Copies of this chain bind each other. A is one copy, B any other.
Amino acid sequence: MSDVYVVGAGMTPFGKHPDKTAAELGAAAVLEALDDAGVSLGDIEAAWVGSVFQGMAMGQRALGEGGISGIPITNVENACSSGSTAIWGAAMSIKAGAYDVVLALGVEHLTGAFRGAFTPDESDVEAQRGLTMPAVYAMRAQRHFAQYGTTSEQLAAISAKNKRNAVANPLAQFKKPVSVDEVLASRMIADPLHLQECAPVSDGAAAVVLASRRKRAALGGSRAVRLAASALKSGRAEVGLKDMTVEDLTWRAAEEAYERSGIGPSDIRFAEVHDCFSIAEALRVEGLGLFPHGEYPARVVKGEADLDGRLPVNGSGGLLGKGHPLGATGVAQVVEVVRQLRGEAGPRQIPGARVGLAHCRGGKAQGVEGTACTVNILTV
């Protein structure tokens, strides 16, 4: 299997875009990624496009708007991991030797398309009984509290960190810092999670151009970043009485990525992880083996995950600060890692960022731990 490189990255501002269609947002991200890569529309041989609530043929509509038609396009859905599943599929095609330059796009336009809380699919018995995604994570947070003495103040510190990081990201939805007290004063969504601990409703798109080693060389490629591993897993069936603070799904995806890349948890310099809720960030980084199990919230309070900390987490602002246009999220994480690795992250640049990890985990399907999880490891 041949190496895969990210040779171009682009994304729209995340936030409310009531005046734009999903296709227009997608096209804008694609064009920026193409320009960044120095490739033209005609160089793109195939595309994978992730979205969740955008109806049929999202990829064809977005690429059509952007001047690309006729090529193989695969629309993929894996709940909040849809965009990162698109990257996984696109990378697979380069490993297959089928193409030299492909595109992965994630796009979502949720403004006006959404009422109330995000839930599992309506076919799900738990959803029919009232389960929402905030409730899933609230119940996991209650266990983290009970088992590890985690507190609401500690979880609020995760949100405050990410919203502070977002201020340094011009593409982020949230533009001003939020204190721990302000997080705790925001209204309760699902006990113990407050509004400011839940990712917002967002519109946006992100795209990356992937290339083979051969094409990367032809492009010059001094700014190319290597996709050292891309792993996708789905949740295991829920059998027996498991510890809900343990992210088996995250660990299995990470394990494969660590093995394939030869890069272990201790080599990771920074991470973008799927912080759909404050507690989620803790569950992710503990599941990835980046922090000891049960200890992350307390360590955030000590500053270990800050931009200048031991292992910066969600320096982009994460989903909590940057926004969470579902299908776009997984691609945007990789865009951020690429910009950090290139040293192009401006005021939020992490010094010496040479190995980064992007983790994206989505959804909950009937009887399984989660819909999907991806782990991408990138290096320069």
Contacts and interface: CB of A to CB of B under 8 A. Distances in A.
B21 A72 contact: no
A72 B232 contact: yes
Nearest to A120: B56
Contact of A73 (B57, B95, B372): B372
A14 interface: no
A56 B363 contact: yes
A64 B233 contact: no
Given A69-B236, A72-B88, A372 B60 contact: yes
A89 B368 CA distance: 24
Contacts of A77: 56-57, 75-77
Contacts of A159: none
Interface in A346-380: 363, 365-368, 371-372
A74 interface: yes
Contact of A96 (B78, B95, B233): B95
Interface residues on A, range: 35 or more
A72 B235 contact: no
Contact of A74 (B64, B232, B235, B237): B232
A379 B173 CA distance: 53
State the copy count for this chain: 2
A136 interface: no
Interface in A240-283: 252
A216 B282 CA distance: 44
Interface string A52-72: 100111011101100101111
A61 B366 contact: yes
Given A64-B368, A368-B64, A70 B363 contact: no
Contact of A121 (B1, B61, B88, B98): B61
A22 B233 CA distance: 22
7 contacts: A57-B371, A61-B366, A70-B234, A73-B372, A75-B78, A89-B92, A96-B96
Given A52-B56, A64-B367, 10 more contacts: A22-B123, A23-B123, A56-B77, A56-B363, A57-B121, A57-B371, A60-B234, A70-B236, A72-B88, A74-B78
